[in-house]
Amino acid sequence: MRARTSPRVGPLAARLGDCPELDVDALLDDRKTQVIVCTGSGGVGKTTTSAALALRAAERGRKVVVLTIDPARRLAQSMGIEKLDNVPRPVPGIDADAGGSLDAMMLDMKRTFDEVVESQASPEKAASILNNPFYVTLSSSFAGTQEYMAMEKLGQLRQDAGRTGRWDLIVVDTPPARSALDFLDAPERLSGFLDGRFIRLLLAPAKGPAKLMTTGVGMVTNTMAKVVGAQVLKDLQMFVAAFDTLFGGFRNRAQQTFQLLQTKETAFLVVAAPEADALREAAYFVERLDSEEMPLAGLVVNRATPALEGLSAEQAIAGAERLESAGGDAATTAGLLRLHADRIKRVNRENKMRERFQAAHPHVPTAVVPALSTDVHDLEGLRRVGELLAG
């Protein structure tokens, strides 16, 4: 596994077994890094992390576009963009003194699918595909379509960046849960579906070299028509016949994007919360990226409980017990001491969980971002997150 940053060892790293510390600014400033992919389980702050990284990079002089494929609308709200859609839109209010810029967009998988069909097919064939009921279902709700179109959109952005120079860094936010890595599998899954026996069977009547084959297939399709309905089967056959000539281009572009994700131009950041389930998912992502030879930059642990100085948990509990036995006004102070003890225990639990992760993955650079007292809802909040990410 390749570490993309220069390890720095700070106080937190020392407490966690001298694990390398993620140098976020070095990653953002490295002009060789042209794609950053934030991945991780749901509810760990990937969208906020992606937006904060993109903003910080832009204000350090990079020309950035951030792509989210998370359906939440918080990214638009935090960046002050009234409408966030399939078109990259400039983010107002950034500090451009260093010469950077920031655009943001949200993946519209059906619009992306439509654009690809329109660009690859003749107007007549494109119209027959776009109006086909089976295509409408495939492009809007078929499992894996969102991730596949994310690959398409990333490829388009990378191509546009190379052609126009509009961006020199693309930051990608990914879907929640384990589907965060489904975009790595989506091309193969969709290939398997469209190359599968069922689809080949539907095309066989038009391609079959022998009358016997056509007759045999006809018997099968007649049986399927009785099961799924003749019109549904006809729509599916028409879609497959029209789409078949386009699929090779889909597959080739997806493969090119997949190869881009394996190059030194790309850096993956795994985002997690200081919770057992989230760190287990993070370990899964790290191991999966390693198996796919994807360049891992490091781990971001979001919303960590800030460390406290002073009394230990045991001392705070002992003090609370003494005050509680005294009664009277001391009960309020005793309650505060118990809250202090609970927080110390939480910090210790989080440290132990991170220690276990680092013991299993000692070469993964890590950044720990303490929890904020309020939600992030504007550029100032994103700047604060960026500062915390950079240590």
* DSSP assignments along 75-86, one per residue: HHHHTT-S---S
Task: Using the Cα atoms of residue 202, residue 205, residue 206 and residue 208 in order, give the sign of their dihedral.
Answer: positive
pLDDT over threshold 70, residue 212: no
Distance CA 195, CA 164 (A): 35
Longest CA pairwise span in the chain (Å):
97
Convert the pLDDT of each residue in 267-308 to its tens digit: 999 999 999 999 998 999 999 899 888 999 999 999 998 877
- Band the pLDDT of 150: cuts 50, 70, 90: confident
Residue 191 lies in a domain: no
Distance of CA 391 to the CA centre of its chain: 22
Distance of CA 34 to the CA centre of its chain: 16
Residue 73 lies in a domain: yes
| Token representation of residue 239 | 């879609």
Share of the chain above pLDDT 70, in %: 74
- 374 CB burial (10 A radius; 0-12, 13-18, 19+): exposed
SS3 assignment, position 254: helix
Residue 212 lies in a domain: no
Closest CA to 170 of 111, 114, 108, 107: 107
Q: Between the CA of residue 340 and those of 12, 278, 307, 351, what are the distances in Å?
A: 20, 25, 11, 17
What is the DSSP secondary-structure string of 121-188?
Answer: S-HHHHHHHHT-HHHHHHHHHSTTHHHHHHHHHHHHHHHHHHHH-S-SEEEEE--SGGGGGHHHHHHH
Q: What are phi and psi of 299, to 5 degrees?
A: -115, 135
| Token representation of residue 137 | 């279902």
Distance CA 372, CA 380 (A): 13
Lowest-confidence segment of 110-119, 233-242, 348-357 by average pLDDT: 233-242
CATH number at residue 128: 3.40.50.300
Lowest-confidence segment of 158-167, 185-194, 238-247 by average pLDDT: 185-194
pLDDT at 235: 72
- The number of helix segments (H) and strand segments (E) in the chain equals 16, 8
Residue 219 lies in a domain: no
pLDDT at 202: 55
pLDDT at 200: 57
pLDDT at 271: 95
Q: Which residue has the higher pLDDT, 271 or 78?
A: 271
Task: Using the Cα atoms of residue 81, residue 174, residue 371 and residue 13 in order, give the sign of their dihedral.
Answer: negative
Residue 177 lies in a domain: yes
Lowest-confidence segment of 8-22, 111-125, 185-199 by average pLDDT: 8-22
What domain range is 74 assigned to? Answer: 24-185+258-310+354-390
If one counts the domains in the chain, the total is 1
Closest CA to 351 of 123, 99, 14: 14
pLDDT at 29: 97
HSE-up of residue 87 (Cα within 13 Å, Cβ side): 5
Convert the pLDDT of each residue in 18-46 to its tens digit: 568 999 999 999 999 999 999 988 888 88
Distance CA 155, CA 251 (A): 12
Residue 246 lies in a domain: no
pLDDT at 382: 93
pLDDT at 376: 85
Q: Where are the beta strands (DSSP E) in the chain?
A: 35-39, 63-68, 89-90, 101-106, 169-173, 266-272, 296-304, 366-370
Residue 339 lies in a domain: no
pLDDT over threshold 50, residue 350: yes
Lowest-confidence segment of 19-28, 166-175, 270-279, 310-319 by average pLDDT: 310-319
Residue 29 lies in a domain: yes
pLDDT at 193: 61
As a whole number of Å, the CA-based R_g of the chain is 26
The mean pLDDT of the chain is 79
Closest CA to 176 of 49, 297, 59, 290: 49
